[in-house]
């Protein structure tokens, strides 16, 4: 009988706990320095520890640092984690001896472990990085939209009813304004969609602490925050949030090319919403506060249409607040539907993600190295 070589475990995991173990094992094998920021109160569904874990590869006093973050939104975590793990397992190559990589694993571990896009307080972590006393005020449109989006029965969100009502609202508001209102974040309805929180979440303060502790010697910092759900199926969509006139934007163009200009096309309305409280902007500001030059981008991998992704958000909210009296089988079915909207099982999609991810990391490191040389 032939000896069959053991199959290499996939970098795409099935749950938070196994992804965490894979990440820490790979970090150890790469001789990385790891740190764990344990959640002080929340736990996983089976009582497991929830943690934001970090791995630092390269010299502690590196002047150039690349940072990759995964897991800002629960079910999107698997994909960013797979790209990071793939890089870590590939030999963790850095182009210069004054460069380091910081990997941040599971920015929102509660959302990942419980398969929800939001945190333990139903907060969209990527709307939570605001100056809370000066939060975005509620408008009549906020109220109308949240009332529509929260309509459900014991079988699930009332999709047809919701879409019909949104359609009517679209006639009076226009699609760009409607999409903006749904997506930008809101700070009034804690059981609603896109809730940005009443205060900084534990994940928020932990991420800021991690950045502060690791950027002491940095002069050039490139940051990628990995997401899924926006863009063409299996293709990367670059969301750069710096003003066009800034040096940060120019560096982003040099690093990732002209494609960072094209994100409007990924939205049904033709306009990117004006998101509030983004993690990537807080990370950029933390870098600048340390006196270093930041180059930052949110990179999404497209899955399905904006319409289908909105349905996924409605399911997520329903499971959290309105599903108590529904059948376990029904809940499981909708949970799976929500998860697969953000994390397809399609092997071709996953192969595309890894291929693009590898190239994007190589471009990012080359761009950072070019900045070093120029300086």
Q: Which is nearer to Zn ion, 227 or 284 (CB)?
A: 227
Strand partners of residue 35: 54
Alpha-carbon separation of residue 176 from 12, 259, 264, 366 (angstroms):
35, 22, 11, 37
Smallest distance from Zn ion to CB 230, Å: 8
Q: Which is nearer to Zn ion, 73 or 135 (CB)?
A: 73
Q: Which is nearer to Zn ion, 76 or 181 (CB)?
A: 76
- Which segment (78-86, 171-179, 225-233, 247-255) binds Zn ion by CB under 5 A? 225-233
Q: Which of residues 73-102 bind Zn ion (CB under 5 A)?
A: 73, 76
Smallest distance from Zn ion to CB 124, Å: 9
Pattern 168-207, Zn ion, x by CB under 5 A: ----------------------------------------
Q: Which is nearer to Zn ion, 53 or 124 (CB)?
A: 124
Pattern 327-356, Zn ion, x by CB under 5 A: ------------------------------
- What DSSP string describes 156-188? EE-HHHHHHHHHHHHHHH-HHHHHHHHHS-BSS
Of residues 114, 127, 227, 251, which one binds Zn ion by CB under 5 A?
227
Q: Which is nearer to Zn ion, 44 or 80 (CB)?
A: 80
With beta carbons less than 8 A apart as the criterion, state whether 14 and 343 touch. no
Strand partners of residue 67: 102, 223
127 binds Zn ion (CB under 5 A): no
- Which segment (69-77, 196-204, 239-247, 366-374) binds Zn ion by CB under 5 A? 69-77
CA angle, 339 as apex, 335 and 345 as ends, to 5°? 125
Residues in the chain: 375
64-70 and 220-233 as β-strands: parallel, antiparallel, unpaired? Answer: parallel
Alpha-carbon separation of residue 290 from 106, 119, 204, 294 (angstroms):
24, 28, 18, 10
Smallest distance from Zn ion to CB 276, Å: 14
Smallest distance from Zn ion to CB 273, Å: 13
Q: Which is nearer to Zn ion, 227 or 293 (CB)?
A: 227
- Which segment (8-16, 220-228, 255-263, 285-293) binds Zn ion by CB under 5 A? 220-228
Gyration radius (Cα) of the chain, Å: 20
Helix 159-173 and helix 306-321: axis angle, to 10°? 120
Which tokens hold the place of 289?
A: 């506060």
Smallest distance from Zn ion to CB 312, Å: 11
Q: Which is nearer to Zn ion, 217 or 340 (CB)?
A: 340
d(CA 358, CA 84): 9
d(CA 365, CA 260): 17
Q: Which is nearer to Zn ion, 227 or 317 (CB)?
A: 227
d(CA 235, CA 299): 10
With beta carbons less than 8 A apart as the criterion, state whether 217 and 61 touch. yes
Smallest distance from Zn ion to CB 2, Å: 45
Smallest distance from Zn ion to CB 228, Å: 7
Residue nearest to Zn ion (CB): 227
With beta carbons less than 8 A apart as the criterion, state whether 69 and 80 touch. yes
Interface residues with Zn ion (CB under 5 A)? 73, 76, 227
């Amino acid at each position: 009988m032939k000896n069959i070589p053991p199959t290499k475990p996939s970098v795409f995991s099935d749950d938070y706990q196994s992804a965490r173990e894979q990440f820490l094992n790979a970090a150890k094998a790469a001789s990385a320095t790891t740190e764990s920021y344990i959640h002080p109160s929340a736990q996983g569904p089976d009582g497991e520890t929830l943690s934001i874990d970090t791995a630092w590869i390269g010299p502690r006093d590196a002047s150039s640092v690349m940072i990759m973050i995964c897991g800002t939104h629960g079910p999107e975590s698997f994909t960013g984690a797979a790209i990071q793990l793939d890089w870590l397992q590939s030999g963790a190559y850095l182009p210069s001896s004054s460069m380091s990589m910081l990997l941040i694993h599971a920015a929102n571990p509660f959302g990942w472990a419980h398969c929800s896009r939001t945190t333990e307080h139903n907060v969209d972590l990527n709307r939570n990085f605001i100056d809370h006393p000066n939060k975005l005020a509620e408008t009549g449109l906020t109220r109308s939209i949240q009332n529509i989006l929260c309509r459900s029965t014991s079988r699930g969100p009332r999709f047809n009813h919701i879409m019909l009502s949104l359609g009517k609202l679209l006639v009076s508001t226009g699609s760009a304004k409607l999409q903006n209102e749904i997506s930008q974040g809101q700070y009034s309805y804690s059981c609603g969609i896109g809730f940005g929180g009443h205060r900084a979440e534990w994940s928020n303060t932990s991420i800021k602490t991690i950045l502060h502790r690791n950027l002491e010697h940095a002069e050039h910092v490139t940051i990628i925050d990995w997401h899924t759900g926006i863009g063409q199926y299996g293709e990367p969509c670059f969301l750069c949030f710096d003003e066009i006139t800034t040096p940060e934007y120019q560096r982003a163009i040099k690093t990732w090319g002209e494609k960072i200009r094209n994100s409007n096309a990924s939205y049904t309305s033709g306009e990117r919403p004006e998101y509030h409280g983004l993690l990537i902007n807080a990370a950029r500001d933390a870098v600048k506060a340390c006196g270093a030059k930041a180059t930052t981008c949110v990179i999404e991998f497209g899955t399905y249409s904006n319409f289908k992704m909105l349905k996924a958000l409605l399911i997520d909210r329903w499971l959290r607040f309105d599903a108590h009296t529904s059948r376990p089988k029904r809940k499981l079915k909708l949970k799976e539907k929500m998860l697969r909207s953000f994390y397809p099982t399609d092997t071709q999609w996953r192969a595309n993600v890894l291929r693009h991810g590898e190239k994007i990391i190589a471009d990012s490191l080359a761009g950072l190295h070019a900045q070093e040389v120029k300086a």
